Structure formats: C-alpha cells, structure tokens
Amino acid sequence: MPQDTCDIGLIGLAVMGQNLVLNMNDHGFKVAVYNRTTSKVDEFINHEAKGTNVLGAHTMPDFIASLKRPRRVMLMVKAGSAVDQTIDELLPFLEAGDIVIDGGNSLFTDSNRREASLAAKGILFIGTGVSGGEEGARLGPSIMPGGNAAAWEHVKPIFQSIAAKVEDGTPCCDWVGEGGSGHYVKMIHNGIEYGDMQLICEAYQLLKDGLGLTPDELAGVFTEWNKGELDSYLIEITSEIFAKKDEDGSPLIDKILDAAGQKGTGKWTCESALDMGMPVTLIGEAVFARCLSAIKDARVEASKVLTGPATAKAADRAEFIEDVRRALYCSKIISYAQGYMLLSAAAREYKWNLNLGGIALMWRGGCIIRSRFLARIKEAFDKNPTLSNLLLDSFFSDTLDKYQASWRSGCIRAIQHGVPVPAFSTAMSFFDGFRTARLPANLLQAQRDFFGAHTYERVDQPRGQFFHTNWTGRGGRVSSTTYTV
C-alpha cells in the first residue's frame, strides 16, 4: 500500500459512502476506503470505483497509513453505537491534530459528546449533515459541518468542491458552528422537510376533494406553481408524481397506500422543540399527520361511522387554486420562521455561534428542501444579521399581509369541505398568536393560581414580582413554590 498519499479516507461503503468517495475522486482528491466487511472494499474497487484513483484498504492500520497528515477520516457508518465502535477502533492509530468526520445521520447530542471527548485526546471531530440522498452524494450534496473549528480549514477545500453550488457558484457548504451544531442543523432541515411535504399534501387533498381536480390537472397546477415563488425541488417532484402512470395507464398516485413511514428526524426536531420550549407547531403537526395516516385500519373503520359536511365541489376554480397556493406559501413562511426560532434557541442553549443566513444558503441547493424561497431567508439575515424573528423581516411581513385574506380563505375552504389541514391551520393560529400582544394566558395564570396557588405576575407591576390571591376565601395564604411560571 502506498503511504501518506491519500487526501482523505472514508469508512463505510454503503451507497452514500460510495457516492461521496466517487464525488471526491471526480474533484481530484485521492481517497482511501475501508469497510468493516472487507469484501465490500474489493467489490467497490473492482466495480463502481474501477478506473478511479480510489485506494482500497483491508485493515485499519493500512488504511490510516495511506493518509496524508493531518489524517482526515470520514465515517459513513450506521448512526448510533457503530460510530462509537468505529472511533474506538480508529483511535489507537491516530495522533493529535488528526480529524474524524462523522457524516452519518447522528443525533446531535451524540456529536456534542464525541466532539468533547475527542478534543480531550487532541483529535478534532466534525459532525456533519449530508443531505440530498444518493444522487446528491454523487453529484453535489448540501453539507452542514460543525464541531471543532480547528479542523475546518483542513476539510473545507474538499467539502466545498464536492458540495452542490447555487447559481453564482457559491457552495452549499459552510462552517455551521461548534459541537453537534452540524447535525442539529441537519435535523432541523429534516424537520422542515416534514413540514414542507405535509403542506404539499394538504394542498393536494384540498384541490382534489374541494375542487375535484384529477391527477393530470394537479400535475398542471404544480408545474405552474413551480414557475413562481414556490419554485422548489419538492413542488417539482410533486408535479412529476401526479403525471406518472401505472403500467395500466392509470395515475400511479391513486394506487399508493396512504400510510406514511418515518425514520425519526422529525420526531427528534419536535423533542428538541419541547426541550427548548419553542412552539415549532407545524413540524409537530407534520409528524402527527404521519402518525394519523399510519393508523389506516382505525381510519377506515371510523370512516364508516363518522360523517363530514356535505359540501358541493367549489366552482370558482382559479380563485380556489390561488387561495390554496397562498395558504401553502404563507404556511411555509411560518414553518421556516418556527424552525429558525428553534435554531436560535438551541444556539443560546448550547452556546453555538450559528451563522443563520449561511445555513439558509447551505439549504439553497443539493438538499431536499432546496428552493428559491431560501434565498429570501439568506437576504433577510444579510440585511439584518441579528434579526430576532424571520416574520419581522419586511419581505416576509409584507407577503403575509398581502396574502393574508387568501390564506384565511384557504383554511376556511378546508374546514367547509371537511378536509384536514393541520399544518395550514396551525400556521394560521401561530401567526395569529404571535402577532397578539395580549393572549388569554392571563386567565390561564388565574386558573393555575386558583387551584394550585402557582401565583401570577400583574400588568400594573414590574415583571418578576409574583402575586397570589385567595380566590375563594377558603384557601390559606401560602403560595406554591413547586412550579415555575
């Protein structure tokens, strides 16, 4: 085996790993590969990587010896204990200053832990999100690296050259921040993806059941939408899905069972939102909508008992379609604003310096949520790097203002037709809640103080002073200190 010649080594030759290696090779980097099951190394070298500069290693020592210093080792192994096991196997062969990159779908708290424990040993850890699926990995993914900043300059040329590029050539890869922030940003990306998909599904059902559009007509509507402000990968593939015919010539979409699967990153986003106390309601509804779809048998049973409204199909076709389009667009704005609220809260909690505009740029190309819309988010943070909430940027506030009546009308139409729109309606409620200076939580605080003496703050006194009222004349004068407000 040649020594010290490879720019980077990659462990884990499943499809994503293989495609990243081939992508790096295409961009002129010399890559060493290793896999626990070593027969996969030979298969890869003799087939997919035939004729390339990729070097196959059969042992961990050979693999490490083939790398230039500082060694750059990227792991594309199964998330979870396999990452820890592989790092443990690697460690005896590494020296201070070497770099370990985890490109799998790891939970960010694992990456926080790995970054800290490897830093104590002088090893620089990067946890990176890689999005775009198999095709993205091969041709240009979105790459979201975070961890030990000292490692960035050593991997930056490789990552930025293999990443997707936006129109002006800017790579969809930049440094995210400290600790597990790279994997956190990937998790938020996936959560937002759940939300975007659910919004499209709600638009679909509303156009189908409320207006009676056929799959061919839907394909036309989504093709049109993709030419405007909704221009995005998910809208584009949706139009193609509606146009696809089964072998018998009928629309394939009508033959697909309506029970959704999920792998857990949407759930992780919601768990983090609950931990941070951030109202990321749209992604929450998107996760629960998948759960509701999955209990298919129960729904079929219920559909025989429970009836909805008997509303005739709408007749104002153009207006109906535009209401749904605007409802989708406004809801999408709300979803991204919520996602960014969570990102900011996590940055405060974990002491990460996140480049919020840069994150939007990383999602502009290569990944599943890529869209024209993300350029608007980047612009908002360019205009004001300390923007406290996306909805307060004039582009977004003006759009919500302009589309508001139509957005409400879209939600009302859904309710009238008995079409479930949990994501559209939670976006509307969030908007109405967020723009309300005085919510009914005064009553909630009174109730808590009534039954539990939890105390309340007053509008006519400074914040931080707590009061208790003896509501019935029967309770004692002692207030509860068990709960925080």
Instruction: Write out the residues near ligand 2AM by the rule CB under 6 A.
Output: 12-14, 35-37, 40, 77-78, 82, 85-86
Nearer to ligand 2AM, 78 or 208 (CB): 78
- Residue 86 vs 238, nearer CB to ligand 2AM: 86
Q: Where are the beta strands (DSSP E) in 148-228?
A: none
Nearest approach in angstroms of CB 114 to ligand 2AM is 15
CA atoms of 439 and 228, how far apart (whole Å) = 36
Measured from the CB of residue 48, what is the shortest distance to ligand 2AM in angstroms? 14
- Cβ–Cβ under 8 Å, residues 354 and 381: no
Q: How far is the CB of 189 from ligand 2AM (least distance, A)?
A: 21
- Taking the complex as a whole, how short is the minimal distance between the CB of residue 39 and ligand 2AM, in angstroms? 9
Both tokens of residue 185?
């940003």
Residue count (the chain): 485
Q: Which of 186, 267, 332, 378 is catalytic?
A: 186
φ, ψ for residue 84, nearest 5 deg: -65, -45
> For residue 146, what are the β-bridge partners?
127, 177
Edge-first strand order for the sheet with 142-147 is 55-56, 31-34, 8-11, 72-75, 99-102, 124-131, 142-147
Smaller CB distance to ligand 2AM: residue 13 or 260?
13
Question: Which one, of 70, 76, 81, lies nearest residue 33 by Cα?
Answer: 76
Known catalytic residue: 186? yes
CA dihedral 235, 239, 240, 244 (to 10 degrees): 140
Decide whether 77 or 428 has the Cβ nearer to ligand 2AM.
Answer: 77
Least distance to ligand 2AM, CB of residue 79, Å: 9
**Sign of the CA dihedral 153, 154, 158, 159?**
negative
User: 124-131 and 99-102 as β-strands: parallel, antiparallel, unpaired?
Assistant: parallel
- Bond before 309 cis per omega within 30 degrees: no
**Residue entry with tokens 């998909």:** 197
Looking at this protein, which amino acid is placed at residue 79? A
Which residue lies nearer to ligand 2AM by CB, 85 or 416?
Answer: 85
Instruction: Write the secondary structure of 292-358 as one string of H (helix), E (strand) and C (coil).
Output: HHHCHHHHHHHHCCCCCCCCCCCCCHHHHHHHHHHHHHHHHHHHHHHHHHHHHHHHHHHCCCCCHHH
Indicate the helix (H) or strand (E) that contains 131: strand 124-131
Q: Nearest distance from residue 37's CB to ligand 2AM, in Å?
A: 3
Q: Which of 178, 193, 202, 285 is catalytic?
A: 193
Are 424 and 327 within 8 A, CB to CB? yes
**Is the CB of 84 or the CB of 246 nearer to ligand 2AM?**
84
Which CB sits closer to ligand 2AM, 34 or 125?
A: 34
The residue among 11 and 337 lying less far from ligand 2AM, judged by its C-beta, is 11
CB of 82 to ligand 2AM, least distance (A): 3
CA nearest neighbour of 331 among 185, 206, 190, 192: 192
In the complex, least distance from residue 375 CB atom to ligand 2AM, rounded to whole angstroms? 34
Helix (H) / strand (E) containing 124: strand 124-131
Amino acid, res. 225: W
Q: Report, as residue numbers or ranges, the catalytic residues.
A: 186, 193
